[in-house]
């Protein structure tokens, strides 16, 4: 379902890919690989039930989480742009009082619920934010009423959040042991907020399954699009391209790019190596980073994230009779989507001419099915790409350094 157009055909070494894929399969953190087939249907039914409850009793759902516990569902909710009475808000993804205040102000006196999401159940940013929203819930609904509005998505057995959820009787959802944060968007981590935001979560999982089945059906691994993308990245890395810029002409995909950056950055940036993942949204960023892309250091390759059919909403440039005062007569009655598409073609041609290899990842539309497939495509490619560069895709040891310093400075008692 997801198409991939490399700048030049990737030279796939089938043996090497087979070895890497078998290592991924045998890894204890490879649960996301078969998730579209193995999803716990009872859990899914409970997610839908909880989403219904939240839609009935809350104007806002505050999703508290950071990294993989936040970026995936924000990415998909933004891309889908579904109408829903309940708006999903985000907190606990920074320590900024201004950011916290903005969410608090937005809620005001309205009814709200909280989905606190932390696989480990011990991450500082969401844990701190949770305290503030708990206090607000207590004031509005009392302790018992608050507990009915708190949904905890965390480990099945351990962590401070798990302990609290059990003790206080919050509705609980599980992040499976064998799926890490940045690979978890198609678990309860993403599915509960997505269902509240009006997304068809069955279609999301079906989309991922279609992509997975397409790979399994393909007799030649070299034709699997995600394999081609992973191998292409690895080839550019070897040719000293150390930065990949993901670009899109669709502003609603900005957070998809953020999710992608985390997925690849945290999976590959190890042992002082790894392609640096960056992102832009065009045409906006053609007027800020466009100059660099066209003429700057040639260490970049660009991955254009394209959507064949963006949606039903479109506008034709208004026809205004009279003189051509704004010089736009030549665009009159042209569809905005068409102008955007042509801007994309023109940009790719310009960047290629300027010496930037441009890869294309093309999805049919912005539906749940296509987005589910796109998530699977990137997760598969990311795990493989990290393996090809000899690092463990599923850990993130480097994230501890700032925490250790911060805890020391804040005087956290040593356990
Ligand atoms: O991918 C990862 O594992 C991380 O980005 C985590 O998602 C992030 O650090 C948040 O962790 P947790 O869900 O345990 O609070």
68 contacts 184 by C-beta, under 8 angstroms: yes
Question: Bridge partners of 90?
Answer: 63
386 contacts 393 by C-beta, under 8 angstroms: yes
- With a 6 A CB cut-off, is 58 part of the ligand 1 pocket? no
At residue 242, does pLDDT exceed 90?
yes
- With a 6 A CB cut-off, is 66 part of the ligand 1 pocket? yes
- What average pLDDT does the chain have? 96
CA of 364 to the centre of ligand 1 (A): 30
At residue 311, does pLDDT exceed 90?
no
Helix (H) / strand (E) containing 361: strand 358-365
- Rounded to whole angstroms, the Cα distance separating 215 from 109 reads 49
Set 164, 211, 266, 368: catalytic member: 266
Q: For position 8, what pLDDT does the model report? A: 86
| Mean predicted confidence (pLDDT) in 16-30 | 97
Q: What angle do CA 393, 396, 397 make, to 5 degrees?
A: 130
* Nearest Cα residue to 152 out of 132, 180, 182, 130: 130
Q: Where are the alpha helices (DSSP H) in 252-397?
A: 254-268, 290-295, 336-353, 368-388
Q: For position 312, what pLDDT does the model report? A: 86
Backbone region of residue 154 per phi and psi (left: phi > 0; alpha: psi in -120 to 50; beta: other values): beta
> Which ligand 1 atom minimizes the distance to the CA of 399?
9
At residue 411, does pLDDT exceed 90?
yes
- Rounded to whole angstroms, the Cα distance separating 46 from 114 reads 16
231 contacts 17 by C-beta, under 8 angstroms: yes
CA of 166 to the centre of ligand 1 (A): 21
- With a 6 A CB cut-off, is 68 part of the ligand 1 pocket? yes
- With a 6 A CB cut-off, is 119 part of the ligand 1 pocket? yes
* Nearest Cα residue to 304 out of 1, 6, 25: 6
pLDDT tens-digit readout, 195-231 = 999 999 999 999 999 999 999 999 999 999 999 999 9
- Rounded to whole angstroms, the Cα distance separating 318 from 314 reads 12
| Mean predicted confidence (pLDDT) in 10-17 | 93
DSSP 153: E
Cis amide linkage into residue 273, ω under 30° from 0: no
pTM, whole model, 2 decimals?
0.97
377 contacts 322 by C-beta, under 8 angstroms: no
347 contacts 286 by C-beta, under 8 angstroms: yes
DSSP 270: B
At residue 415, does pLDDT exceed 80?
no
- Rounded to whole angstroms, the Cα distance separating 112 from 276 reads 38
Q: What percent of the chain has pLDDT over 90?
A: 96
pLDDT tens-digit readout, 382-405 = 999 999 999 999 999 998 899 999
CA of 264 to the centre of ligand 1 (A): 14
- Rounded to whole angstroms, the Cα distance separating 282 from 23 reads 38
User: How many angstroms separate the Cα of 372 from the Cα of each of 185, 223, 289, 296, 353?
Assistant: 10, 20, 30, 35, 33
- Rounded to whole angstroms, the Cα distance separating 399 from 27 reads 21
- Rounded to whole angstroms, the Cα distance separating 251 from 187 reads 25
| Mean predicted confidence (pLDDT) in 73-90 | 97
Q: What angle do CA 29, 33, 35 make, to 5 degrees?
A: 100
* Nearest Cα residue to 385 out of 217, 211, 184, 226: 226
- Rounded to whole angstroms, the Cα distance separating 376 from 2 reads 10
* Mutational pocket test of ligand 1: of 31, 32, 63, 67, the residue with most ligand atoms within 8 Å of the beta carbon: 67
> Which ligand 1 atom minimizes the distance to the CA of 117?
13
| Mean predicted confidence (pLDDT) in 256-262 | 98
**Confidence band for 10, pLDDT divided at 50, 70 and 90:** confident
155 contacts 121 by C-beta, under 8 angstroms: yes
* Nearest Cα residue to 130 out of 111, 149, 108, 156: 149
At residue 414, does pLDDT exceed 90?
no
User: How many angstroms separate the Cα of 13 from the Cα of each of 48, 274, 300, 349?
Assistant: 43, 20, 24, 30
């Amino acid at each position: 379902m997801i198409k991939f157009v490399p700048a030049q055909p990737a030279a796939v070494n089938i043996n090497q890919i087979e070895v890497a894929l078998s290592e991924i399969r045998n890894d204890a953190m490879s649960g996301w690989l078969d998730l579209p087939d193995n999803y716990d249907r009872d859990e899914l039914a409970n997610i839908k039930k909880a989403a219904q409850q939240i839609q009935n009793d809350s104007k806002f759902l505050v999703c508290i989480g950071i990294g993989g516990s936040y970026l995936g569902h924000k990415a998909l909710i933004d891309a889908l742009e579904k109408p829903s009475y309940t708006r999903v808000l985000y907190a606990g993804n920074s320590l900024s009082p201004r950011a916290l205040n903005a969410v608090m102000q937005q809620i005001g006196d309205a009814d709200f619920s909280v989905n606190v999401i932390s696989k480990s159940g011990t991450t500082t940013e969401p844990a701190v934010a949770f305290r503030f929203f708990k206090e607000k819930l207590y004031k509005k609904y009392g302790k018992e009423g608050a507990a009915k509005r708190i949904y905890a998505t965390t480990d099945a057995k351990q962590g401070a959040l798990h302990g609290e959820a059990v003790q206080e009787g919050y509705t609980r959802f599980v992040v499976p042991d064998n799926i890490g944060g940045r690979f978890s968007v198609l678990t309860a981590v993403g599915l509960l907020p997505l269902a509240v935001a009006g997304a068809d979560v069955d279609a999301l999982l079906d989309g991922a399954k279609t992509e997975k089945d397409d790979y399994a059906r393909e007799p030649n691994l070299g034709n699997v699009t995600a394999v081609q993308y992973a191998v292409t990245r690895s080839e550019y890395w070897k040719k000293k391209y150390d930065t990949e810029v993901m670009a899109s002409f669709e502003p609603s995909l900005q957070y998809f790019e953020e999710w992608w950056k985390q997925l690849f950055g945290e999976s590959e940036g190890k042992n002082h190596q790894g392609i640096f993942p960056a992102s832009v949204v065009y045409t906006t960023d053609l007027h800020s980073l466009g100059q660099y892309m066209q003429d700057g250091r040639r260490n970049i390759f660009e991955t254009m994230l394209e959507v064949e059919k963006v949606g039903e909403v479109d506008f034709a440039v208004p026809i205004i009779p009279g003189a051509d005062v704004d010089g736009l007569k030549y665009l009159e009655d042209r569809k905005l989507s068409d102008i955007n598409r042509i801007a994309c073609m023109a940009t790719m041609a310009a960047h290629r001419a300027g010496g930037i290899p441009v890869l294309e990842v093309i999805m049919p539309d912005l539906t749940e099915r296509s987005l589910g497939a796109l998530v699977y495509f990137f997760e598969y490619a990311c795990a493989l790409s990290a393996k090809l560069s000899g690092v463990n895709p599923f850990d993130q040891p480097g994230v501890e350094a700032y925490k250790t310093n911060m805890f020391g400075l804040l005087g956290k008692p040593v356990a």
